[in-house]
Chain A
Amino acid sequence: MYVVLPILIPFAFIILFILVRDLHYSKWLSLAGSVMLLLVSVYLFIQTSIHGIQVLHVGGWKAPFGITIVIDTFAGLMLIVSSVIILTISIYSFGYVERKHPYHRFYLFFYSLIMGVNGAFITGDAFNLYVWFEVILMSSFVLITLGSSKAQLEGGIKYMALNLLGSLFFLAGLGLLYGKTGTLNMAHLANILRHDEQAILMNSSAILFFVAFGIKAAVFPMFFWLPASYHTANITITSLFAGLLTKVGVYTMIRFFTLFFIQDQTFWHTILLVIAGFTMLIGGLAASSQYETRKILSYHIISQIGYMIMGLGIFTPLALAGAIFFTLHNMIAKTNTFLISGVISRLKGTYYLKDIGGLYKQSPLLAVLFIIPAFALAGFPPLSGFFAKFILIKAGIEDSHYFITAVAVLTGILTLYSMIKIWNEAFLKKQPGSSSIPVKSVRLTWPDILPSSILGVMSILLGIFAGKFFTFCIQAADQLINPLQYIDAVLR
């Protein structure tokens, strides 16, 4: 029963937000809801680590017929980290969601997005996953165009166009998969396909799913919607999307390509590695040519997605653990950098690095808060990113994928370059005198500082207790690479 709470809590809050129209109460309600979600996810994670994989057959219909809700270690970890991000966004929204006309519906769609994301993490049924994707898609359409400015509508059209095509690919893949196997329960599919000799027949479905999840995850040839739309929305919404949306695509891709599309391994892993390499490099290079903080960070999301796909492409337990570690670390650090860029624009009135400067003198605290996620992303030793990259590169060398490992190291330098660019331009350089934007005297309040502090502390803790955290990741990777545990838990 508890297993379904990550979906039920946001659903209850959606109903509440339809009734409660006052923005002030909505803010506190949203904070309460995100604390509840965090507690529930921690509880569920403890349950999975004590009692093994948690399964619920919704409505009492046994596995291959009804919808199954499954929480294994991977899903549990994703739930915890996404709840932390939701909590910080809830706090951050206190200062950034204005008391203006369109924004008073923010929380309604915020919680429907959360419901979709949590549903996608814990569902054990492929068609149900499609429905959760549509829930995510619809609420993100509304959120991204919430201000109705010209740029937002334009970004919204681009975001909508490619993501709709993605979900059509997903649905077509489901149709073909059902036609071939006669089931859409993920454990049942895995059970059927494990003993399948005609691997080549599955590839037509697998490629449709790959394109669908590739568009969601913004991998190399399909990422163009992301930098065209993310920087247009309100910074609270952009931070939320940066932390959660593409990672849902990565999560489902890892889930599908470990659980049942495992017949034609040499073919798929080569494709995944090639795409991972291009994603890393192109994202990193594009980021280094930008001068708008949100655009740098948007391209940077793409470059980081490449590391996660690389872990999936190497496909050893160590590499998968590295991919999981990297995904969780990246969700935390990436959201944090976007939050900081919002604070910078609040202080300076713009996102363009050329008009910003002197922040180190103006607010040393902000500089510290920025340097933690920036160094975490670049991979400096005491922070989380170092261990995430270290595990992935070690896995690459152990499995003798030297070329992709070299690309990963090179991309690390590009990451460092774009982070140092923001640091130099925004914090160290003097405030440019020719700036046309009037300097406002804005005091930083707790909604500016607290979310970044929470996420920064998380980045540090993940670095310091990396060993303990790594055992969880190895456990999750072990469950992924030996899907028998998952299958047994569901079909028992």
Chain B
Amino acid sequence: MEIVLAILTGILYTAGAYMILRRSILKFIIGIIFLSNATNLLVFISAGIIAGSPVFVQHSTNKNPLADPLPQALVLTAIVIGFGIVVFTLALKYKYFSATGTDDLDQLKKTDE
């Protein structure tokens, strides 16, 4: 299972890196979403995937390794933060588009003058 998720993480990172190099602001934001999800997956599989084991049971006689709940808690926080940020970037993009009518990152030269 880990190997599949690891490959998926790699694909998402590649796609994200490709997308943030595009000229369109919207595609850039899609790239951020890809990268953010790739990072979430990375955190998720960081403790290993242990199937069919409880997280923590008191006085347990179970000899199998216990599942680690912490990365899931971390990734939940990270997903929520990621949602908030994506919403803000989309709002910013909308505002910028209605102010200037362009979606082209190469037009962002005003602040460098």
Residues of A bordering B, CB below 8 Å: 127, 130-131, 134, 137-138, 141-142, 145, 148, 150-151, 153-158, 160-161, 164-165, 168, 171-172, 174-176, 178-179, 182, 184, 228-229, 231-232
Contact = CB atoms under 8 A, between A and B. Distances in A.
Contacts of B95: 145, 148, 153
Task: Kindly name the residue among B35, B39, B71, B100 whose own CB sees the greatest number of chain A CB atoms within 10 A.
Answer: B39
A130 B44 CA distance: 16
Interface string B1-26: 00000000000000000001000010
Interface range, B side? 35 or more
A369 B25 CA distance: 43
Contact of A150 (B47, B68, B110): B110
Contacts of B81: 131, 134
Contact of A168 (B25, B36, B71, B89): B36
Contacts of A184: 70, 74
Nearest to B77: A131
Contact of B99 (A134, A153, A164): A153
Contacts of B46: 175-176, 178-179
A71 B39 CA distance: 30
A163 to B, nearest CB: 10
Given A138-B84, A179-B47, A127 B100 contact: no
Contact of B42 (A142, A157, A158, A172): A172
Contacts of A232: 111
Contact of A155 (B32, B88, B111): B111
Interface string B86-105: 00110011011001100000
A179 B42 CA distance: 10
Contact of A151 (B20, B25, B93, B111): B111
User: What are the 6 closest A-B residue pairs judged by CB atoms, nearest first?
Assistant: A179-B46, A175-B43, A175-B46, A153-B96, A175-B42, A228-B111
B78 interface: yes
